[in-house]
Amino acid sequence: MAAPWSTARSAPMSARITAPSSPRSVARRRDIGRGFARDAHGPVLQPCRMRAVLGHTLRASLRTLLLLAVAVVALATVAGFYGAANVWLDYAAHFRPHLAGAAAAGMLATAVLLAGWRRLTLTALLAGCAIVNASVMVAEADYRAGVAEEYVPLALRIAAVNVYFFNREPQRIEAWLRQEQPDVVVLTEVDRSWRPRIARLADLYPYQAVGQTAFTVMIARRPWESLEVAAGPRRGQGILVARFDMAGTKLTVIGAHPASPIHPRYARRRNAELEIVARLASDAPGPVVAMGDFNATPWSAPMRRLVRGSPLRYADLMATTWPTFLPGWLGIKIDHIMVGKGCAVAGYKVGPDVGSDHRPVAATIRCAHALSRAREREGPIARSAMGG
């Protein structure tokens, strides 16, 4: 008797090849071709294929982010030129250095992530943005104050400090002032709680203009000949104007804290106050200094108008002052010391963190207007006009 299987006839090979596949087998082959394996719960991505898919997804995401970043840089670069027409657009102008740096970094990212015409197009666009932003900064460098010759004898050390309404460590500002001992200091955001502390500085700064304006104070080691408050658009928050005698030459020191541009209305007030500063500097009879928290960077529309419409020039153009909780290269410069009409800068520095959201700024200036008179009276002996 033959074995039972001997009578069973297996299907021809052609039949097995041409027989229609079940939906399950078709899905299995499709998954394997895509890098999937199947288990009881469905397709599972194989490890090698998983890495490839994740890498592709990551690169696609990075390309998308790069395109968005390029769009932001390009739009912000253009928007900064229209700050005079719209205060919101002027915000973009504050970040010219950051935009130039971002454009340079974007060109490197483009070289890594893109190829072909996309790489060429974006690289050209980013290069243009970098050049435009850098050219704006280079143009403003023409409005930087000259460097004083060391032989000029009449020196004045000045400083501007935004003390910050919510400063929890005010003793750090007092310690910094006692360490640096500038001759004239402008303090901003000074409310009533600061007055006792300023009074304790009377041994070093016996001349104090406290309460003349709402939140701006001027203190000095030597007396001023006159002190007045120039009215501004904000009630009770005028601009301090003091005049000192520097060996026969009248030096005008302007202390200002224009409004913070957190709203278009405040931005317009800030712009109006900066225009007053420009007028006061232009009307000064001799050398002039203006300092304080101006709430505007050198690249913004109101500051560009100020330096083009007055004799004031920047003691420094690039050193950032705000905010203190970010690294300096991420900050912006809104605290300024500016000089004009014969004043030159012999030294400038940004101070340390003193508990405020702003870093203090200090400078040593020399007054060329008084040079010839001082030499006639004093000969070769150099002395500080304010230090005695």
What is this structure's pTM?
0.81
Last residue of a domain, one of 107, 140, 173: 140
Regarding whether 216 and 182 lie in a shared domain, the answer is: yes
- 11 or 302, greater pLDDT: 302
- The rounded percent of the chain whose pLDDT value lies above 70 is 79
Q: Please check whether residue 17 lies inside any domain of the structure.
A: no
Domain span holding position 353 = 145-378
Regarding whether 337 and 351 lie in a shared domain, the answer is: yes
Last residue of a domain, one of 140, 159, 186: 140
pLDDT band at 383 (very low <50, low <70, confident <90, very high): very low
Mean pLDDT of 215-222: 96
* Residues 85/289/312/140 CA torsion (nearest 10 deg): -80
Whether the per-residue pLDDT at 153 is higher than 80: the answer is: no
Averaged pLDDT score across all residues of the chain = 85
CA 45 to CA 64: how far, in whole Å?
25
Whether the per-residue pLDDT at 169 is higher than 90: the answer is: yes
Q: Please check whether residue 124 lies inside any domain of the structure.
A: yes
pLDDT band at 227 (very low <50, low <70, confident <90, very high): very high
Regarding whether 245 and 197 lie in a shared domain, the answer is: yes
Number of structural domains in the chain: 2
Regarding whether 241 and 351 lie in a shared domain, the answer is: yes
pLDDT, position 155: 84
pLDDT, position 150: 54
Cite the DSSP H helix spans in the chain. 13-18, 23-33, 47-79, 87-93, 96-113, 116-140, 171-180, 195-199, 264-283, 301-308, 371-378
- Residue 275 sits in a domain whose CATH number is 3.60.10.10
Ranges 98-107, 108-117, 297-306: which has the least confidence: 108-117
Residues 257-294 have pLDDT tens digits of 999 999 999 999 999 999 999 999 999 998 999 999 99
Regarding whether 239 and 174 lie in a shared domain, the answer is: yes
Mean pLDDT of 191-197: 92
- 74 within 8 A of 125, measured Cβ to Cβ: yes
Cis peptide before 323 (omega within 30 of 0): yes
Last residue of a domain, one of 140, 170, 193: 140
Regarding whether 219 and 94 lie in a shared domain, the answer is: no
* Structure tokens that stand for 169 in this block: 């460590």
DSSP state of 12: P
Mean pLDDT of 119-145: 95
Mean pLDDT of 165-194: 95
Regarding whether 177 and 240 lie in a shared domain, the answer is: yes
Residues 284-336 have pLDDT tens digits of 998 999 999 999 999 999 999 999 999 999 999 999 999 999 999 999 999 99
Whether the per-residue pLDDT at 44 is higher than 90: the answer is: no
Residues 57-72 have pLDDT tens digits of 888 888 899 999 999 9
User: Residue 361: is it exposed, middle or buried by C-beta count within 10 angstroms (0-12/13-18/19+)?
Assistant: buried
